[in-house]
Amino acid sequence: MIKPIALLVLGAFLSTPAMGQWETNMVPGRHTMVHLFEWKWSNIADECERFLGPFGYGGVQVSPPNENAVINDPFRPWYERYQPVSYKLETRSGNETEFADMVRRCNAVGVRIYVDAVINHMTGAFFEGVGTGGSTFSGPNKDYPGVPYGVLDFNGIGIGEGDCPNPIGNVSDYSNPIEVRNCELVFLRDLKLGSEYPRVKILEYLNKLVDLGVAGFRVDASKHMWPEDMTLILGGLHYLPTEHGFPAFKKPFIVQEVIDLGNEPIPGSEYFSIGRVTEFKYGAHLGRVFRKVGDEKLAYLVNWGPGETGWGLYPSNNALAFIDNHDNQRGHGAGGADILTFRDFRLYKMAQAFMLAHPYGVTRVMSSYGWEPYEANWIGPPNTDGATDDVPVNEDMTCSGGWICEHRWRQIYNMVKFRNVVEGTGLNDWTDNMSNQITFCRGDKGFIAINNDDFEMRRTFVQTCLPQGTYCDVISGNLENGTCTGKSVVVASFGYADIYISNLDEDPMIALHAEAKL
């Protein structure tokens, strides 16, 4: 393929290591992002203005914005968004103008945008057709004129540098790092990132998004790329534009998708020098604890975190924490049956509350749409003849039309604010009953109690660490016009309170914070 492209960016950027890419770039006082999976750009812009901004969310992870393959068998599945055709900003979520408008409007209300960047591969090897932006492509011929990419821009089969050692060209042996990184992931055409040209085209795409005002990237399938290649690409990212409210000389936030449940031949730690890494053990372990699998107990979470004395999680400043994501809520990715999702209504809210109350990591909340599980895990978003439907919002702030909107559940959005209020404090005054009842404080700004036992939690003189007064429990209600719509808790002198949580409660938790004082 003839590649008419100016490579002057390489000398200026690609030799520079990635730096400053562990900070979320959220507006001060905000600390949680939400993944609005498969939402339209226009709906996300509206949601930033009417809900996410006012309720303290710091950012949105959006679905891949670049042109993808149109898959009709099965009809328009979710995973077509992970089969790129070009880097044109044209998908069922919207076009470039709508994307730019979303970024501008969300930034204006203090909500940052993080793009799901699919840069490891293109479409399936056996598939050819037309993309969502009208570009033709041929997987069998490794031909993607919308970029353009040709056969020389993909890893081949062989024993040379960058070649796939597996004769079938696909990853079969996940214990072999060379095969994992040089072969095709489920027969998706694997880009030759050891070559300069693909790196330049990817960098052009990412920098276009940065210049539009996105705050960072979730890099899909990072485990299948060599860290050295990723460093060359991401080291060339532009500084974030100050006209979108970012401080000067700030680099985009980077979080890399690396599935590592421990003892992996490719550990997530290999990517710490580039940015944060998805901590899949977080949701898997918490799922087992809240489900009480193998006699796991909430009391064991007293040392929740990294290190040999804890749960073997990544260091907090290297991790993205989450209960579930778009893959493992469908049985893919990692965690299997241990993963809690919106279908596990009660336990899911408890696990989310624990995550948002605990100081570990950067936190991400999932926002899903419904589908028939197991038999139809491929189903794409609610749609009309393939065109994604708008997200209807009800008077009670929930969603309808097939959209779940977990981020709008009171028990979750109030804990997002809890995390904002207590930021900068540590975890202290932990108590438990050696079973499934726990309490802990966040400095002198927040307190949470969770009862996952099959009997009531009734304790006197519990240390809440809060100043004396009456507080609204933000799990059961909201503080509105000086009154609490749910339970209230009286905190006596020296921070002590009586705590009662029935095991029959819909939400067997209590959460109090400094800004919920009556």
SS3 85: coil
Q: Are residues 259 and 406 in the same domain?
A: yes
Q: Are residues 406 and 473 in the same domain?
A: no
Interatomic CA distance for residues 225 and 263, integer angstroms: 19
Dump pLDDT digits (tens) for 151-176.
Answer: 999 999 998 889 999 999 999 999 99
Say if CB 420 and CB 413 are below 8 A apart. no
Mean pLDDT of the chain: 95
Q: Kindly list the distances between the CA atom of residue 369 and the CA atoms of 102, 326, 502, in Å, as whole numbers in the listed order.
A: 20, 10, 31
DSSP 151: G
For residue 321, tell me if it sits in a domain.
Answer: yes
Say if CB 465 and CB 444 are below 8 A apart. yes
Q: Are residues 397 and 472 in the same domain?
A: no
Interatomic CA distance for residues 426 and 439, integer angstroms: 14
Q: Letter for the amino acid at 443?
A: G
Q: Are residues 261 and 229 in the same domain?
A: yes
Interatomic CA distance for residues 237 and 68, integer angstroms: 23
Surface-to-core class of residue 78, CB atoms within 10 Å of its CB (0-12 exposed, 13-18 middle, 19+ buried): buried
Helix axes 280-291, 345-357, angle to 10 degrees: 130
Element containing residue 224 per DSSP (H, E): none
Q: Letter for the amino acid at 516?
A: A
Strands 216-219 and 112-117, bridge-based pairing: parallel
Q: Are residues 347 and 480 in the same domain?
A: no
Q: Map tokens 């993808």 to a residue.
A: 68
Q: Are residues 284 and 223 in the same domain?
A: yes
SS3 458: strand
Count, in order, helices (H) and strands (E) of the chain. Answer: 9, 24
Strands 483-484 and 488-491, bridge-based pairing: unpaired
Which of 309-313, 367-371, 495-499, 514-518 is the least confident region?
309-313
Q: Residue 448: which of 364, 351, 366 has the closest Cα?
A: 351
Task: Pick the last residue of a domain from 390, 422, 454.
Answer: 422
pLDDT-above-90 percentage for the chain: 93
For residue 6, tell me if it sits in a domain.
Answer: no
Q: Residue 56: which of 107, 102, 111 has the closest Cα?
A: 111
Q: Letter for the amino acid at 282?
A: Y
Residue 13 has pLDDT above 70, yes or no: no
pLDDT for position 167: 97
Task: Pick the last residue of a domain from 422, 453, 484.
Answer: 422
Domain count across the chain: 2
The CATH number that applies at residue 432 is: 2.60.40.1180
Dump pLDDT digits (tens) for 36-63.
Answer: 999 999 999 999 999 999 999 999 999 9
Mean pLDDT of 388-393: 99
| Dihedral (CA of 170, 148, 196, 160) sign | positive
For residue 26, tell me if it sits in a domain.
Answer: no
Say if CB 258 and CB 26 are below 8 A apart. no
Q: Are residues 398 and 325 in the same domain?
A: yes
Mean pLDDT of 83-88: 99
Q: Are residues 330 and 468 in the same domain?
A: no
Interatomic CA distance for residues 424 and 494, integer angstroms: 22
Residue 12 has pLDDT above 60, yes or no: no
Dump pLDDT digits (tens) for 207-266.
Answer: 999 999 999 999 999 999 999 999 999 999 999 999 999 999 999 999 999 999 998 999
Dump pLDDT digits (tens) for 318-350.
Answer: 999 999 999 999 998 899 999 999 999 999 999
Residue 131 CA from chain centroid, whole number: 26
Say if CB 367 and CB 35 are below 8 A apart. yes
Q: Residue 346: which of 229, 181, 509 has the closest Cα?
A: 509
pLDDT for position 15: 38
The torsion of the CA quartet 20, 22, 27, 33, rounded to 10 degrees, works out to 150
For residue 175 the two structure tokens come to 């214990």
Dump pLDDT digits (tens) for 272-281.
Answer: 999 999 999 9
For residue 144, tell me if it sits in a domain.
Answer: no
Q: Are residues 468 and 403 in the same domain?
A: no
Q: Are residues 417 and 432 in the same domain?
A: no
pLDDT band at 405; cut points 50, 70, 90: very high
pLDDT for position 401: 98
Mean pLDDT of 471-496: 98
Interatomic CA distance for residues 493 and 495, integer angstroms: 5
Residue 185 has pLDDT above 90, yes or no: yes
pTM over 0.85? The answer is: yes
Say if CB 490 and CB 468 are below 8 A apart. no
For residue 331, tell me if it sits in a domain.
Answer: yes
For residue 280, tell me if it sits in a domain.
Answer: yes
The CATH number that applies at residue 239 is: 3.20.20.80
Q: Are residues 418 and 456 in the same domain?
A: no
Other C-beta atoms lying within 10 Å of the C-beta of residue 375: 8
Residues 6+ apart with CB under 8 A from 40: 92, 93, 94, 98, 388, 390, 391
Task: Pick the last residue of a domain from 422, 442, 467.
Answer: 422
Q: Decide which of 116 and 12 is more confident.
A: 116
Determine the structural domain holding residue 431 and report its residue range: 427-513
Residue 25 has pLDDT above 90, yes or no: yes
pLDDT for position 160: 87
For residue 438, tell me if it sits in a domain.
Answer: yes
pLDDT band at 20; cut points 50, 70, 90: low
Q: Are residues 213 and 227 in the same domain?
A: yes
Interatomic CA distance for residues 348 and 406, integer angstroms: 10
Q: Map tokens 């095969």 to a residue.
A: 179
For residue 178, tell me if it sits in a domain.
Answer: no
- Which residues are designated catalytic? 220, 257
Residue 309 has pLDDT above 80, yes or no: no
